[in-house]
Amino acid sequence: MAEKSIFTEKEIAFLRELIRQGVPFMIVGLAAAALQGAFVVTQDIDLWFADLGDPRIARALKKVGGSYIPPSHLSPPLFAGKSVELFDIVTAMHGLDEFGSEMKRAVDIPLGSVTVKAMPIERIIASKESTGRQKDLLALPVLKDAAATIKAKTKSKRRTRRKRSKS
Partner 1 sequence: MGSLLERASVSKTAFYSLVRKDDILPRSICSIASALDVSPLAFLEEDVEAIKARRLIKEADAIARAHPGLDRENVRHTLLMLSMEPIERLRRGLIRGRKIDIH
Task: Give bridge partners of residue 68 from the DSSP assignment.
Answer: 79
Does residue number 18 form part of the binding site for partner 1 (CB under 8 A)? no
Site string for partner 1, 34-73 (x = CB under 8 A): xxxxxxxxxxxx----------------------------
Strand residues in the chain grouped as ranges (E): 25-28, 45-49, 67-69, 78-80, 87-90, 107-111, 114-118
If you ran DSSP here, which 8-state letter would residue 113 be given?
Answer: T
Contact with partner 1 (CB under 8 A) among 13, 23, 31, 57: 31
Q: Cβ 96 to partner 1, closest distance in Å?
A: 21
Binding span for partner 1 by CB under 8 A among 2-10, 74-82, 91-99, 122-130: 2-10
Q: Name the H helices within 108-133.
A: 121-131
Q: Kindly compute the dihedral angle of the four CA atoms of residues 16, 46, 146, 101, in this order, to the nearest 10 degrees.
A: 80
* CB closer to partner 1, 62 vs 157: 157
Q: Find the shortest distance in angstroms from Cβ 6 to partner 1.
A: 5
